[in-house]
Amino acid sequence: MATETTVAEHGAEAAKAGIPQLEFAHFPNQIFWLLVALVVIYVVLSRIALPRIGAVLAERRGTITNDLAAAEELKQKARDAEKAYNDALATARSEAAKIVAEAKAEIQKDLDAATAKADAEIAAKTAESEKVIGEIRAGALQSVTEVAGATAQELVSVLGGNADAASIQAAVAARLKG
Amino acid sequence: MAGEAHEEGGLVFHPLDQFQIKPLFGDGPIHWYTPTNVTLWLGLCVLVVVALFVFGTRGRAVIPGRIQSMAEMAYGMVYKMVEEIAGHDGVKYFPMIMTLFVFILFANMLGLLPMSFTPTSHIAVTAVLGFGVFIFVTLLGLIKHGTHFLGLFWMSDAPLILRPIIAVIEVISYFVRPVSHSIRLAGNIMAGHAMIKVFAGFAAVTLISPLAIFGIAAVYGLEVLVAFIQAYVFTILTCVYLKDALHPGH
């Protein structure tokens, strides 16, 4: 402690043995250069560096905000586009369903008409055929009667009988009906 | 104090030689304007500040590079500190506080280079900073609030009998502020540097040199931390004093 006081009192003389921090003779030098350095740093920071960094940070914040807003807008747009697409899809679907139903109905109509026509034709053909069959049947019956009559007459004559044609015919007819 | 240099065998202790102020050119007397090693290291400190904050940000990139990021981080840290502690009206004094922070930080950090000189280890330097802040905030408080500023010492929510006693204590603690403010910084830096030098002296003895070198490394790591923390503490206390000057109501 005594040494320190000596240093403080004698300044540079006792510097070798004491604390350089307490060498008051050097204080003006340090304070002068410190003030110079502080002023230079202050001027550089307040005039150039800090406004610049502040501007960069503000710009970045602005850019981020803008980008977020733009992203939000694009998202909304995408959502709108999706909705429009879905709407269009739904419309197209319902239209397609309508067209399908219409086509089906038309085809059904055509089909019904064709079926009806075919049915009528078939009915006509059937009727005609039935008529022809009837005629044929009648013809056949007639032939059977004639053949039966002739055969009966022959049989009667062969058996030695004599019968007039009329009675044979009546007998055959009666038999055929039976 | 370990100030006395003594030589016994291999042990050579000159832990305080690193704080010597010498003229840069020649060996003449040191006048107030003489360029000394103080000048050199203050100048280097200024250069580093300019390199980081001016050249580092010259691109003004929206997406910052490494150096610009560092400058922005320092800016953001001090800005937030000023805004949170001193309030919105304290932001006006942000460049001043930023100056203090970067000056102390880079003076401390450059001082950790081997063979360097640390301006912030000198009480003359830290006293100018500490008393500068003290005088500034006191004048600011008096100009802004007049006698109302003295309410800082008058605890209106304390019992009436205690108020004068508290006022005396508050006044004393107020005037001790610049002293502790400056000695804290110089003391921390000086003690760390001296300790490294003492370990370096022991490193000359073969037997304990591994331990001494390990000690140097450990103390050096601690000193890097201290260099930052002291700059931070100085700045944050400046913000607190500024808050007292701007809002003396509490």
Dump the DSSP string for A13-38. Answer: GGTTTS-GGG-GGGHHHHHHHHHHHH
B120-170 per-position pLDDT tens digit: 999 999 999 999 999 999 999 999 988 888 888 887 788 888 888 989 999
Give the ipTM of the model, two decimals please.
0.88
User: Model confidence over A95-109: pLDDT tens digits?
Assistant: 999 999 999 999 999
Q: What is the rounded CA–CA span in Å between residue A54 and residue A51? A: 5
User: Which pLDDT score is estimated for A151?
Assistant: 85
CA distance A42 to A44: 6
- What are the domain boundaries of chain A? 2-134
What value does the CA radius of gyration of chain A take, rounded to a whole number of Å? 66
Q: What is the pLDDT of residues A125-152, one digit of tens each?
A: 999 999 999 999 888 888 888 888 888 8
A53 band by pLDDT with thresholds 50, 70 and 90? very high
Inter-chain touch A33–B61, beta carbons under 8 Å: no
Contact A17 B5 (CB under 8 A): yes
**H-only helix segments in A27-178:** 27-43, 50-158, 165-177
Give the chain A residue whose CA is nearest to the CA of B97. A42
Please give the pLDDT value at position A146: 84
Mean per-residue pLDDT of chain B: 89
For the cut 90, the answer to whether the pLDDT of residue A178 exceeds it is no
Residues in chain A with CB shorter than 8 Å from the CB of B42 are 33-34, 36-37
pLDDT at res. B250: 58
Nearest partner of A20 among B51, B137, B85, B119, judged by Cα: B119
Q: What is the pLDDT of residue B103?
A: 96
Overall average pLDDT of the B62-75 stretch: 92
With a cut of 60, say whether residue A17 has pLDDT above it.
no
How far is the alpha carbon of B43 from chain A, nearest alpha carbon, in Å?
7
- For residues B224, B229, B232, B236, the Cα torsion angle rounded to the nearest 10 degrees is -170
Helices and strands counted in chain B (H then E): 6, 2
User: What is the pLDDT at residue A6?
Assistant: 39
- Number of A:B CB contacts under 8 A? 134
Measured between its terminal Cα atoms, the distance across chain B in Å is 42
Q: Which residue has the tokens 């053909």?
A: A125
Q: What is the mean pLDDT of chain A?
A: 86
Secondary structure (3-state) at B87:
coil
Q: Running DSSP on this structure, what letter comes out for residue B152?
A: G
Closest-CA residue of A relative to B47 is A41
Sorting pLDDT into bands at 50, 70 and 90, what band is A15? very low
Among B172, B169, B189, CA closest to B233: B189
Residue A167 contacts B where some CB pair is shorter than 8 Å: no
What's the confidence (pLDDT) of residue B10?
Answer: 58
- What part of A 1-30 touches B (C-beta under 8 Å)? 3-4, 15, 17-23, 25-30
Q: Which residue has the tokens 């050097």?
A: A26
